[in-house]
């Protein structure tokens, strides 16, 4: 249906669109670790196929068709991650690269059966919601710890950084999905955050607080 490169571009544009409506060539280049000139070439092709809205120098956004394709890729990615963790017992920091390959397996029938096989999970191992077969899913209402007030209390529910370095750090600190935490103090000097978890105090940096999401 779509080439590997096309799918990766659509996914990148979708991801960047969550932050700001309009996505720039350079942002896409950075996201895909490629050059701006390569991006421009691909944007012309995607626009021709009516998957993006594109005017030279003006940035891009996904069309409805493009968004549908992107959401479907995300559905596949998250279902395979769930499979790898729940059925094959991989750790949550080991599955991203594998799922990056598996998300391009084209059969939707396969994905629907996989979904059913696993009991229609609603979130992947990193707490991200899994779109259903029609593409519906709740937008993430999770907040980075860096954005909540002192004394706020919530459940660790997701991450913004999926790198294994970050996930391994969290694991080591016991900061795993489902844990209940309370924000005890925010250090003015460097925006570090002191959390209470399991009746113990734990300090995390601003970067970590930015990338760790909680449900209030």
Partner DNA sequence: TAATATTTTTAGACTTGTCTAAAAATACAA
Partner DNA sequence: TTGTATTTTTAGACAAGTCTAAAAATATTA
Task: Report the interface residues with its own copies, using CB under 8 A.
Answer: 84, 87-90, 97-98, 101-102, 105-107, 110, 113-114, 117
Q: How far, in Å, CA of 160 to CA of 67, rounded? A: 20
Does residue 182 bind DNA (CB under 7 A)?
no
| Residue 3 or 191 having the CB closest to DNA | 3
CB of 106 to DNA, least distance (A): 14
**Partner in contact with 153, chosen from DNA, its own copies, none, beta carbon below 5 to 8 Å by kind:** none
Q: How far, in Å, CA of 152 to CA of 156, rounded? A: 12
Query: Phi/psi at 136 (nearest 5 deg)?
Result: -85, 135
SS3 assignment, position 75 = helix
| Residue 117 or 120 having the CB closest to its own copies | 117
- How far is CA 175 from each of CA 11, 106, 122, 160, 190, rounded to the nearest angstrom? 28, 35, 21, 14, 21
Share of the chain residues as helix, strand and coil, in percent rounded to the nearest 5 = 45, 20, 40
| Residue 35 or 113 having the CB closest to its own copies | 113
Rule CB under 7 A: choose which of 15, 31, 34, 177 binds DNA. 34
CB of 112 to its own copies, least distance (A): 9
**Partner in contact with 59, chosen from DNA, its own copies, none, beta carbon below 5 to 8 Å by kind:** DNA
**x-marked contacts with DNA along 42-71 as a string, rule CB under 7 A:** xxxx--------x-xxxx------------
- 32 contacts: CB under 8 Å, gap ≥ 6: 8, 9, 12, 39
- Which residues sit opposite 181 in a β-bridge? 154, 197
Does residue 37 bind DNA (CB under 7 A)?
yes
Q: Give the pair of three-digit tokens for residue 82.
A: 């769930």
**Residues forming the site for DNA (CB under 7 A):** 3-6, 24-27, 32, 34-45, 54, 56-59
């Amino acid at each position: 249906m779509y080439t590997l490169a096309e799918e990766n571009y659509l996914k990148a544009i979708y991801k960047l669109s969550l932050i700001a409506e309009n996505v720039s060539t350079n942002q896409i280049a950075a996201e895909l670790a490629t050059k701006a000139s390569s991006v421009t070439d691909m944007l012309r092709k995607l626009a021709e196929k009516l998957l993006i809205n594109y005017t030279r120098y003006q940035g891009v956004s996904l069309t409805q068709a493009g968004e549908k394709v992107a959401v479907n890729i995300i559905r596949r990615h998250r279902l395979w991650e769930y499979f790898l963790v729940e059925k094959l017992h991989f750790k949550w920091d080991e599955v991203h690269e594998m799922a990056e390959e598996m998300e391009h397996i084209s059969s939707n029938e396969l994905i629907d059966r996989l979904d059913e096989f696993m009991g229609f999970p609603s979130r992947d191992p990193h707490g991200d919601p899994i779109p259903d077969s029609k593409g519906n899913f709740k937008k993430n209402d999770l907040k980075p710890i860096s954005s909540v007030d002192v004394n706020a209390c919530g459940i660790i529910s997701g991450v913004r950084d999926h790198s294994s370095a970050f996930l391994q750090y969290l694991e080591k600190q016991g900061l795993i999905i489902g844990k209940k935490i309370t924000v005890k103090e925010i250090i003015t000097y460097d925006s570090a955050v002191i959390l209470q978890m399991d009746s113990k105090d734990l300090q995390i940096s601003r970067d970590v607080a930015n990338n760790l999401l909680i449900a209030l």
